[in-house]
Amino acid sequence: MTICAKLDELREILLRIERKLPGAPTENDTFNYHVLFSLPDHLRKTALVLLQLGFVTASDVAAQTKRARAVESAYLNVLVTMDYVTKEKKGRKTFFSVKV
């Protein structure tokens, strides 16, 4: 079995598991599993926390990932540039959320 075939098999297994989880993303979601698997590990970790928390600041994400706020802010801005995340300023704070 080739590596590509093995990866396809693994993807199918993960999709079957995903369908059984409550609140799991659907194929129409911005961050479907194909997108999440294509992200580098550091961005994937940030994206997963954003999916869990919803409408958050970089500080909120940093508290979950145990990384510096500035690092998370940079990663969130990369996701904004990639058009997966929206950015909204409210007063002095900047909030991020998954793009719908």
pLDDT at 93: 93
The half-sphere exposure of 76 on its side-chain side, counting CA atoms within 13 A, is 29
Q: For tokens 């869990």, what's the residue? A: 52
User: Which of 1.20.1090.10, 1.10.10.10, 3.40.50.720, 3.40.50.1370 would CATH assign to domain 39-98?
Assistant: 1.10.10.10
69 pLDDT band, cuts 50/70/90, is very high
pLDDT of 14 reads 75
pTM (two decimals): 0.69
The burial of 27, by beta-carbon neighbours within 10 Å (0-12 exposed, 13-18 middle, 19 or more buried), is given as: exposed
Query: pLDDT tens digits for 8-62?
Result: 787 777 777 666 655 555 555 556 667 777 888 888 889 888 888 888 999 999 9
